[in-house]
Amino acid sequence: MKIKYINIVGLSLTVFLIGCAQKHSLETQNTQLNGDKLKIVDCPAIKVTDKCEITNTYDKNKPLWIFGNVLTQSAIYTNGGIEIDSDGIIQQVGCIEAPKDAVVLNCSSYVISPGLINPHDHLKYNHNFPGGQNNRDATGNISNPYYLLCNDPIKANTLEVCQNYRYDRRNEWRKGLEGKPQILAPDDAFPNTPEATANEYKKIVWNELRHIMAGTTTVAGSGGYYGLVRNPDVSTMMEGLVTKNQKKVDYETFPLGDSSNVTGLNYGNCNYPKVVTTDVLDNLIFLPHVAEGINDYAHNELECLSGNGNGSVNVEASNSTFIHTIAANPMDAQNIKNADMTFVWSPRSNISLYGNTAQTVMYDNIGVRIALSTDWTPSGSINMFRELSCANEINSNYFNNHFTKYDLWKMVTINAARALGID
């Protein structure tokens, strides 16, 4: 029986991913998966290989069979296989057997996962240095010297200057408000002038390649480049992604219109330069940055996008996905759950900028669907593997392993697909 992968795992992935990703201990998985409704299916033994080995010469006109530890929504198939036809469509997944003359890639010691989905990045900025180490301004000077100095935990706790090197909300670092250092990150990866050279495009191509190298096939990144990862927020870069009425994701960094006009401190009112209207819900998914920060001003953004208060617009709906939403309390999270929304978590970027991240365990206890994302290189991760590593670290060091490995994997596959309306 020929079954498309899409039918088995419920993901809208016609392009496979494949990544002989990481060496992986199934013993660990068995332990960590206790309580999850996930089967481990042991398929008949295959030849054990240290590295992936190919038999017969690869031929793009013939199906490719890949064997290893196959991850799906409902089961892990040890010694499982995937058959990909010559059109790139996955035809079979599970305990399968390849014909004798087939082209087989045997990755018995590796994990084979659906392509990772990154629901939040800024692809035009990812050629900038990580702010945490060495963020430089246009003239080559370190734009926030406190980062270097205060990343040392002892100095962070003893030096007075380090009391002020983290931020409380987004516009503080964007504009250097409250006397804090501005973080500068030029967005010159994507040329917007007719005389732009091919060389300039290379920055954004490189940024997408870095995601592909980490097994990522889709990035909502406020732009992109045709021909590499799929960009569901750019209608000309969906690249085979089929969506309802071919609608796209409405990626919105400034749903309150405070990109350049940031002089007013909004708290207790919604007098922002330009608050979105509910028309944004006509999109496949409305994907705004909301409440990026840890103080009342950050929380006020959530108030003004959830129908609470004078001038507030309620855009909490099943096709809304909020990014960051750090300054949310349990009542906010309950409203997000009630609207059947997904919350996009960027722990590395949040902690780098604000010294804290969203109360992700609280979100999960309330039942909110959580997806993981990189944000951008100035404060976040270079790719999804790195962000997964950060999420794993905070989960084990601070969340008492609240999330299983399966939970973390869902954040970059199933939940991320739902976050972008492509599940």
Identify which range of 69-77, 138-146, 326-334, 368-376 contacts Zn ion by CB under 5 A. 368-376
| Residues of span 371-400 touching Zn ion by CB under 5 A | 375
Minimal distance in Å, beta carbon 324 to Zn ion?
A: 7
If we measure between CA atoms, which residue out of 182, 194, 249, 193 comes closest to residue 220? 249
**Of residues 272 and 322, the one with the C-beta less far from Zn ion:** 322
Least distance in angstroms from the C-beta of 355 to Zn ion: 17
With a CB cutoff of 8 Å and minimum separation 6, the contacts of 308 are none
Rg (CA), the chain: 22
Q: Which of residues 311-350 bind Zn ion (CB under 5 A)?
A: none
Minimum separation from the CB atom of position 375 to Zn ion (A): 5
Question: How many chain residues touch Zn ion (CB under 5 A)?
Answer: 1
User: In angstroms, how far is CA 325 from the centroid of its own chain?
Assistant: 14
Tell me which residue has its CB nearest to Zn ion.
375
Based on CB atoms, which residue is closest to Zn ion, 106 or 373? 373
Q: Which segments of 79-238 does DSSP mark as H helices, in order? A: 131-134, 145-150, 153-158, 170-175, 198-212
Kindly state the smallest distance separating residue 253's Cβ from Zn ion, in Å: 6
Of 258 and 375, nearer to Zn ion (C-beta) is: 375
Q: Using CB under 5 A, which of the segments 155-163, 211-219, 367-375, 388-396 binds Zn ion?
A: 367-375
Least distance from Zn ion to the Cβ atom of residue 323, Å: 6
Angle at 233 between CA 228 and CA 235, to 5 degrees: 80
CB 229 within 8 A of CB 115: no
Residue 118's nearest CA partner among 206, 210, 18, 188 is 210
The alpha-helical segments, DSSP class H, found in 213-329 are 296-303
Pick the closer one to Zn ion by CB: 170 or 203.
170
**Comparison of 77 and 272: residue with beta carbon closer to Zn ion:** 272
Nearest approach in angstroms of CB 244 to Zn ion is 25
What DSSP string runs through 43-73? Answer: PPP----SS-EEES---TTS-EEEEEEEE-S
Q: Which secondary structure element, helix H or strand E, spans residue 78, and what is its range?
A: strand 75-84
CB nearer Zn ion, residue 120 or residue 230: 120
* Closer residue to Zn ion in complex, CB, 81/232: 232
State the Cα–Cα distance between residues 228 and 219, nearest whole angstrom: 10
Least CB distance to Zn ion at residue 120 (A): 6
Give residues 57-76 in contact with Zn ion (rule: CB under 5 A): none
Q: Which residues bind Zn ion (CB under 5 A)?
A: 375
